[in-house]
Structure 1
Amino acid sequence: MAYQLDDFQKIGKEQLEAATTVTSSLAKSWQTIAAEATEYSKKSLENSSAFLEKLLGAKSFESAIQIQSEYAKNSYAGFVAQATKFGELYSNLAKEAFKPVESAIAKVQSFKE
């Protein structure tokens, strides 16, 4: 099978367009991840400040233990939820990053047939 120059130019153009699309998609994914990290940091700081205020206002040792337990439980639950969300965001980022590779492999395989 003889490949023609037009075929190679067409493939090159398609790959360039795909790379451009993926690059903008990756940039958006990174912005989303950065925004999530910023938001989580803000919430964590606010929760820590609220915890400290409650702890300083505790009337008894038992009350302080109760406040600390609630804070630990809520912090852990928030961390797990955020870690899950970050996992999904990074998974989506990886899928977007490999789209050009998948596309290139599909093109090469279509020429073999």
Structure 2
Amino acid sequence: MTATFEDAQKYSKENVDLALKSFGTMSKGFQAIAVEVADYSKKSFEDSAAHVEKLLGVKSFDKAIEAQSAFAKSAYEAYIAKMTKLGELYADIAKESYKPVETAFAKVK
């Protein structure tokens, strides 16, 4: 009976350790995502402020439309690039946080 209890205790400890590794990986990943979002927000705000200043200095309607089109294009491209990067970060979180679980399943087989 003692061997069975010790085996169960060892198995439980291993599973808790694997879960903690998985949660640690997820936590680091979400911190990286938060940093990326904060950086993007800051840059987006700065770019928008610079664009407004540029628009205020424009002398003709045609130049204003040209400046607005260029800004919209660059803002869209920056958004798509950042969302692509965030998607990759989420995929990395999923892969890395699943590795301990995958290890546990490999031991069971």
Return the TM-score normalized by structure 1.
0.83
Task: State, as a whole percentage, how many aligned pairs show the same letter.
Answer: 49
Q: Is the 8 A contact 1:15 1:100 kept in 2?
A: no
- What does residue 70 of structure 2 align with? 70
Q: Is the 8 A contact 1:33 1:89 kept in 2?
A: yes
Give the superposed CA RMSD: 1.6
Count of residue pairs the alignment pairs up: 106
Identify the structure with bigger relative contact order (alpha carbons < 8 Å, sequence gap 6+).
Answer: 2
Q: Distance in 2 between matches of 1:16 and 1:101?
A: 11
- What does residue 20 of structure 1 align with? 20
Q: Is the 8 A contact 1:25 1:96 kept in 2?
A: yes
- What does residue 35 of structure 2 align with? 35
- What does residue 48 of structure 2 align with? 48
Gap regions ≥5 residues in structure 2: none
Return the TM-score normalized by structure 2.
0.86
- What does residue 57 of structure 2 align with? 57
1:106 positional shift: 1.0
Gap regions ≥5 residues in structure 1: none
